[in-house]
Amino acid sequence: MPNAENPISLLENLLKHPGRVVHELQQKQASVLAGWLLLFGIVGIAIYGTVVGAQSGGAQMWIAPVKLGLGTLLAVLICLPSLYIFTCLGGIDAQLRSVCGALFAAVCLSSILLIGFAPVAWIFSQSTDSIAFMGALHLLFWLIGIRFGLRLIDATGRFLGARSKGHLRIWSVIFILVCLQMTTTLRPIIAPSKTFLPTEKKFFLAHWLDSINGK
Amino acid sequence: MIEHFKTLLRGELGAGSLEKSGWRWFAIYCLAIVVGSSVYGAAIGLWRAPLQSVFTAIKFPLLIFLTCIGNGAVNGMLAQLFGSGLSFRQTALAVLMSFAVAAVILGALSPVTLFVLYNAPPLGSANAIVGHSMMLLTHVFAIAFAGIMANLRLLDLLRRMTGCDTAARAVLFSWLGGNLFLGAQLAWTLRPFIGSPGLTVQFLRDDPLRGNFYEAVWRAFRHLFL
């Protein structure tokens, strides 16, 4: 069983027996477990960020991990209040620490999967100079990772007696949109830039269209 | 209090929840409305100017309370006419309860709307219209979702209170019709909430009681189609 004294077993169980992690997040040590999950999630995505930054090299080798880690943390903080309310709307009687734990577990699971995709991403990053292509590839890997993460949140909802799936599905869409926008808010992540943050505000669809058109 | 709101959001309040005596629960629901809708109101007004956010944070809960007070008597009468058995006090508590649900949901969504606002092209920029449209759409979806959930919870409660689905639906739709009708006009009177870039930031427009939401809609319809 995952326990707070052995954080590594937490990662193993998250992949092999996610149900055990969901169960432990309802017990007394849930807060400690949730803390480890968040830490692993942020560190994991920062590790993937080094592969993202390797496309351009130089300062992007530290800027990309910092931006991905910070962006993930901000997205979690922005969406946590609505997750708590949406779990209530779905008929789930959960403590705040359990809801936090479920979200942090989802982020941690997606970052573990991203680390798994890191060698594939690196190979492609060495094969092309196209920022748009690599951006799309990184987004695809992230979407696959977060799909498994959100499935974990769904499973937590079922475990806690959710009466309807619709509310958590709506929240999942909100979370994905916030994360997609966060990549644009903190751009550039792959390509180098003179400023740490962008000087112009854009929505992510407009940014993607501009990137495809080479603007 | 938090457990009560969690039970309310889950839609598990029993029929006895409207039997509570004293003013404590009125005060609690009013507090939830003030906190949730003020926070969301501030997010709405912030796009135009910080001062507009303060004004909208004051006006959003004011709109809700004025709607409840304005329709209080007729809501109570309709509840009794449709055979729900609810007293005026119980009607007022039920309506406040549903607005409290909406306010809590909007308060929880305010970090998301603030994030959308942060990313919207500012006023005066070339893409300001895109930003304005995105803000409007975001607020429409958030308020519509909160309103729908609040009314679903109210319908559940009315079913438990009345024991009859027909009576519960009749009461809900009559309250909804009245609140929307008066609420639209009060929103017109209390405008602006978002604020127009071409006009100065004001708490209320000049001569706020003059003019009518439905006449404005009719004039717009005539300009478009007639």
Q: pLDDT digits over B46-89, tens only? A: 988 899 999 999 999 999 999 999 888 898 988 888 888 888 88
pLDDT value of position B9: 87
| Best of A78, A88, A163 to mutate (most B CBs within 10 Å, chain B) | A88
Which whole number is the average pLDDT over B130-138?
84
CB contact under 8 A, A92 and B120: no
pLDDT value of position B210: 79
pLDDT value of position A4: 58
Confidence of residue A195 (pLDDT cuts 50, 70, 90): confident
- Count Cβ–Cβ pairs < 8 Å, chain A vs chain B: 63
Tell whether the model's pLDDT for residue B24 goes beyond 90.
no
Q: Hey, is the C-beta of A89 within 8 angstroms of any chain B C-beta? A: yes
* Mean pLDDT, rounded, of chain B: 87
DSSP conformation class of B153:
H
Tens digit of each residue's pLDDT (9 = 90 or more) over B169-188: 999 999 998 888 888 888 88
Asked if B9 and B72 touch (Cβ cutoff 8 Å), the reply is no
Angle at B141 between CA B137 and CA B146, to 5 degrees: 150
Confidence of residue B103 (pLDDT cuts 50, 70, 90): very high
Q: Hey, is the C-beta of A70 within 8 angstroms of any chain B C-beta? A: no
Which whole number is the average pLDDT over A154-167?
87
Q: Name the packing angle between helices B50-70 and B24-45 (round to 10°).
A: 140
Tell whether the model's pLDDT for residue B225 goes beyond 80.
no
In a 3-state reduction of DSSP, which class is residue A49?
Answer: helix
Residue of B132 and B34 predicted with greater confidence: B34
ipTM of the complex: 0.79
Q: Hey, is the C-beta of B134 within 8 angstroms of any chain A C-beta? A: yes
Report the domain count for chain B.
1
CB contact under 8 A, A93 and B10: yes
Instruction: Residue A201: list chain B partners with CB under 8 A.
Output: 118-122, 125, 131
pLDDT value of position A102: 92
Which whole number is the average pLDDT over A136-147?
93
pLDDT value of position A2: 59
A87: nearest CA in chain B? B10
pLDDT value of position B146: 92
Q: Minimal Cα–Cα distance from A176 to chain B, Å?
A: 12
| Best of B112, B136, B149 to mutate (most A CBs within 10 Å, chain A) | B112
Tens digit of each residue's pLDDT (9 = 90 or more) over A83-113: 999 999 999 988 888 899 999 999 999 999 9
CA distance A112 to A18: 13
* Mean pLDDT, rounded, of chain A: 89
CA distance A17 to A11: 10
CB contact under 8 A, B10 and A81: no
| Structural domain harbouring B160 | 2-225
